[in-house]
Structure 1
Amino acid sequence: MEVLNLGNNQIIDIFPSWVEALSKLRIFILKSNKFYGPITLSQINQSFSMLQIMDLSSNSFTGGLPSNMFQSWNAMTREDKSQSTFLGRILNAPRSTLYYQDTVIVMIKGKERELTKILAIFTSIDLSNNHFQGDIPESIGIVKSLHLLNMSNNGFTGQIPTSLENLMVLESLDLSQNNISGEILWQLTKLTFLSVLNLSQNNLMGSMPQIKQFLTFMNESFLGNMGLCGPPLSRKCIAPPSDLLSFEDATSELDWEFMWIGFGVGCGAGMGVLFWTLTLWTKGRREFYKFVDGMLLVNFPSTMFALKSRS
């Protein structure tokens, strides 16, 4: 079996782990059902080795994604050396190797598209509209030939995994409506094929990368992240004034040797003034006493004689 499409039903069940035994499975769709519970995978090394399209969207899956979820997805892990997108390669590849004859509806860059013939080079993962939690595993960087990734409307936390920089042919990335925090990684600027990006309604913060195709994304791609600033957002980044130094910076730049010299000069001058003041005050007091004694001697000679004889 190469195609298993159970989408748009009313199936109530847990994740069908028995699907892993389908070694030739290329398309696996469970979207718009009532599946619930965590995704459980066995330790089979060849699980989903031929898988190109997985769509588990619009169910009630919970828990975190298994760390080994993408490790054996060989059809998505082959590194694509081509410099053209999968849409561009339609014109160049031999028609006999381009298509499968199966029909499926997938979400392509935010819109549902019916693929009447599946491209042999088309790869897509859609886990949107569930209740997944925890960090997005770094192992997502293994699927290097992935074109579309949608993990929107879940409860993912943590930061954007740095391993996304390995998805060099990724054309559409939707991580909106989660609880992802931290900064927008500069590594995402390496994804030069990325034409659709939605990081809105998260807890991202910091300044926007001002490089390459990030300059082409609109404001709507980043709405609801109150900590983000810089173009294309209307919220400007507030930088600290460059002409004002903090207290530590200011005190570290003081010339302490100069301060001590100034302190010494100031103290010396102060002591000199004090000494001069005391000298003048003593001399003045002596002159005053001489004047008083002279007055007493002239006006009261008998009293002065008595005081001198008594002393």
Structure 2
Amino acid sequence: MFSISTDASSICDDEGQHPYPKTTHWKADTDCCNWDGVTCHNLTGRVIGLDLSCGQLQGVIHPNSTLFHLSHLRRLNLARNYFTGSPISHRFGSLKSLTHLDLSQSDFRGEVASEISHLSNLISLDLSVNELLRYEPSNFEAMLRNLTHLRELSLSGNLPSNIFHLPNMQVLLLGNNENLTVSLPKLNCSISNSLRQLGLWSTNFSAELPDLIGCMGSLNYLNLGYCQISGVIPESIGNLTHLESLDLSSNQLSGSIPPSIFTIPTLSELDLSSNLFTGVRQDFISYSNFMHLGLSSCQIKEFPEFLRNSESLEDLDLSNNMIHGKIPSWFMSKPFDKWLSLNLSHNFLIGTIDQLPITPSLVYLDVSSNSLQGPMPSSICNANILRILDLSNNNLSGPIPQCLGNSSQRLEAMDLANNSLFGTIPTTFSKGNSLRFLMLNDNQLQGPLPRSLANCERLELLDLGNNEIDDKFPVWLETLSNLEVLILRSNRFHRAIGNCQAKSPFPQLRIIDASHNELTGALTKDILTNFNAMKSSKHQRKEFDQYMVGYTGGLPYYIHSVSLVIKGVDISLERVIKTRTVIDFSSNRFEGQIPEIIGSLHSLHTLNLSHNNFSGPIPKALGNLSMLESLDLSWNRLDGTIPRELVNLDSLGLLNLSENSLVGPIPQGRHFDTFREDSYRGNLDLCGSPLTKDCGDTEAPPPPATPWEAEQQYDDSEFFDGFTWKAVLLGYGCGLVLGLVMGGLIFLTGKPRWFVLIVEESFKPRRRPMKWIHIRT
């Protein structure tokens, strides 16, 4: 019925759960009650529970599936699999004993069958994170009317607003429903006695928080993040004395953060990040004991004093504030036995890395974009379950500790870019590591590239740009089948690229920048032929998959600050777009012809081969690159004409063919007419617009004749119409005979005398005038 795919439950890894194929251990000749994920009744032996969540299942659930024969089933959990667009079949309505149904995050689509409303015993229903589900209003009304025992409801898709008319609801999670319009007055205080959890994140709230929010005294979980809520946080929020988790992040809340929030004795998780607050009034805060605290982008100017009392802190985010100075000593002296995550990035902190609480339990550490200095201590290797390490954009110096290469097999992202680190790159990357993103650019690293990088089989991005690495081109990285971005710019890579040995080298590579090195030889088609990720012009990625992104604790982190030359401008990409494709081999010493095979890379956006020694013609096949936005072939020795096929590149925004030996007319038409003279300068034999030099076959026509000139031309033409070669020959013959006769008579008679003297004088011999030659002695 289903196939097993490791990708089908990949989200489980991101959320800290362990996916595995439970059904592969089922044997037909054994008792099914002993099968993994199956629960049977102690007396009857009937199957009453089936949990295949994170089971790596892939396929379609058909209405005739044997699943629907389990008529005594009470609990069914199929969450976090991949059911490839299956509808929620009407056959689910036949499982009338169900009390708990979880189909979340499994790619169910289409209209939810009305038979779901027949499950009158349901206590918990979770259909969330199936964004393409639809609810027909009358069916939804029936579901709300018939499911009278429902206490926990989590949905996504296009939901009607009457979802809130559920007086007995205890858990209501409706996040990620942008079409759901929410108004808290609809959640009147009559339902507040039963409601324990309310999640409305990423819905269409667009209003202020009313004072009545304080009447929901039974709430222990409230998530209103990403809801466009404006105004201030009402003081009455302090009345939610049972609240354990509060998320108001990424809204438009203003004013100061009310101290009453920090007086809620049960509150352990608080996220107020990314609002318009003017700060927090710390002088009124006497008690707080947070486990998770997010105050990113809250205009905080000093390290929060109220954290002195937080002995259980596990997760702290104070990024994007205005905190100056050193991290206080009282914070460093706290016991961090369960420390998981610390984000102090984008502040004005000073000090050294060894002042940070680096413990074996640490999973996430980001102190980027501060003014930290000094060496990286070897103690950083004690964090042996670290997944994210970002120390970029500081003033760190010294070598990278060798132990960092194999200190954590879970390390996914290491960003040490834009410091003053020197020495060699660690040679200790061990097999089986989890590294996906490695950014060491903009340092002073030297020596060769360590071959142990080939052990990083999951590597997607490698940025070594702007260092002093001295090595041959690392063609051996061809074995990294997941590598998408390779940046080697501004180093000392030398010699020819070499031949690939793998059967499918660099199959996922879509950005390669080896500019400003010392590479030589020909740019062989051997390496270009296998850039398969640049060949498809069809990109059908979902919106959330547009960027290179990883997850830790179920939350995304984006890969920042990859510098590329795009349309002639050095640009630092804040997020690496998945569909961006670039080839930049500029400022090397490549020679020979530009390979025609580049014309097969149909999704290429940027091609820069400038400042090399390429010769021969521009390949006509470049006209096939329909998505090309920037083409720079300047400062080479290219000759021949500009191919007419380049006119078809309608997406082309930058063209630079200057300083070559191109000849002939510049193609005209379509988008090509927008390029200016500097696109062609230094090609002395080019002609045509936009250059001032005209081409021979395109001379301007003569100006129109005046009426008088036109009349004269008409008369002359009439005269010359009858003037043929016969008339010319006849006149020439007559003139010759007459001349001979007259000449003879003149010399016989000697008259006229003056004519005879002229003729005789012309035949007398003449002496040449003497020239003086001066010889210096």
TM-score of the alignment, normalized to the shorter chain, above 0.5:
yes
Instruction: Give me the whole-angstrom Cα distance separating, in 2, the residues matched to 1:242 and 1:107.
Output: 44
Are 1:229 and 2:677 an aligned pair? no
Task: Give the CA RMSD over aligned residues.
Answer: 2.7
Are 1:167 and 2:613 an aligned pair? no
* Residue matched to 2:544: 96
Given candidates 629, 636, 647, the residue that maps to 1:178 is 636
* Residue matched to 1:287: none
Instruction: Give me the whole-angstrom Cα distance separating, in 1, the residues matched to 2:687 and 2:632.
Output: 20
Given candidates 52, 72, 84, the residue that maps to 2:530 is 72
* Residue matched to 2:519: 61
Alignment of 1:125-274 (within 5 A): 125-239=583-697
- Aligned-partner SS, 2:671: helix
- Aligned-partner SS, 2:637: coil
Instruction: Give me the whole-angstrom Cα distance separating, in 2, the residues matched to 1:127 and 1:152.
Output: 8
1:262 CA drift (Å): 8.4
* Residue matched to 2:575: 117
For each residue in 1:169-209, what CA deviation from the matched residue of structure 2 results, as whole angstroms up to 9, or x when unmatched?
00000001111111111100011110111111111111111
- Aligned-partner SS, 1:13: strand
Q: Number of aligned residue pairs: give it.
A: 252
For each residue in 1:240-289, what CA deviation from the matched residue of structure 2 results, as whole angstroms up to 9, or x when unmatched?
7999xxxxxxxxxxxxxx96998799889999x9xxxxxxxxxxxxxxxx
* Residue matched to 1:296: none
Q: Output the amino acid matched with 1:206.
A: G
Q: Output the amino acid matched with 2:470.
A: I
Q: Output the amino acid matched with 2:629.
A: E
* Residue matched to 2:468: 10
Unaligned runs of 5+ in 1: 83-88, 244-257, 274-311
Instruction: Give me the whole-angstrom Cα distance separating, in 1, the residues matched to 2:476 and 2:614.
Output: 26
- Aligned-partner SS, 2:662: strand
Instruction: Give me the whole-angstrom Cα distance separating, in 1, the residues matched to 2:686 and 2:475.
Output: 40
Change (3 A) 1:218 1:242: closer
- Aligned-partner SS, 1:146: coil
Higher helix fraction (1 or 2)? 1
* Residue matched to 1:31: 489
Percent same amino acid at aligned positions?
40
TM-score under structure 1 length normalisation: 0.73
Given candidates 504, 511, 533, the residue that maps to 1:46 is 504
Instruction: Give me the whole-angstrom Cα distance separating, in 2, the residues matched to 1:266 and 1:177.
Output: 63
Q: Any conservation in 2 of the 1:45–1:72 contact (CA below 8 Å)?
A: no
Q: Output the amino acid matched with 2:515.
A: S
Change (3 A) 1:269 1:151: closer
Instruction: Give me the whole-angstrom Cα distance separating, in 2, the residues matched to 1:241 and 1:267.
Output: 43
Higher relative contact order (CA 8 A, sep 6+): 1
- Aligned-partner SS, 2:527: coil
1:236 CA drift (Å): 2.0
Instruction: Give me the whole-angstrom Cα distance separating, in 2, the residues matched to 1:234 and 1:122.
Output: 37
1:230 CA drift (Å): 1.2
Instruction: Give me the whole-angstrom Cα distance separating, in 2, the residues matched to 1:69 and 1:185.
Output: 25
Instruction: Give me the whole-angstrom Cα distance separating, in 2, the residues matched to 1:139 and 1:46.
Output: 16
Q: Any conservation in 1 of the 2:485–2:509 contact (CA below 8 Å)?
A: yes
Residue range with higher mean Cα deviation, 66-75 or 156-165: 66-75
Q: Any conservation in 2 of the 1:8–1:31 contact (CA below 8 Å)?
A: yes
Q: Any conservation in 2 of the 1:13–1:36 contact (CA below 8 Å)?
A: yes
Q: Any conservation in 1 of the 2:513–2:585 contact (CA below 8 Å)?
A: yes
Q: Any conservation in 1 of the 2:505–2:527 contact (CA below 8 Å)?
A: no
Q: Any conservation in 2 of the 1:7–1:32 contact (CA below 8 Å)?
A: yes
Instruction: Give me the whole-angstrom Cα distance separating, in 1, the residues matched to 2:732 and 2:574.
Output: 93
* Residue matched to 1:308: none
Instruction: Give me the whole-angstrom Cα distance separating, in 2, the residues matched to 1:224 and 1:183.
Output: 14
Instruction: Give me the whole-angstrom Cα distance separating, in 1, the residues matched to 2:567 and 2:510.
Output: 17
Instruction: Give me the whole-angstrom Cα distance separating, in 1, the residues matched to 2:536 and 2:542.
Output: 20
Instruction: Give me the whole-angstrom Cα distance separating, in 2, the residues matched to 1:55 and 1:162.
Output: 24
Change (3 A) 1:10 1:112: same
Instruction: Give me the whole-angstrom Cα distance separating, in 1, the residues matched to 2:732 and 2:684.
Output: 55
- Aligned-partner SS, 1:107: strand
Q: Output the amino acid matched with 1:108.
A: I
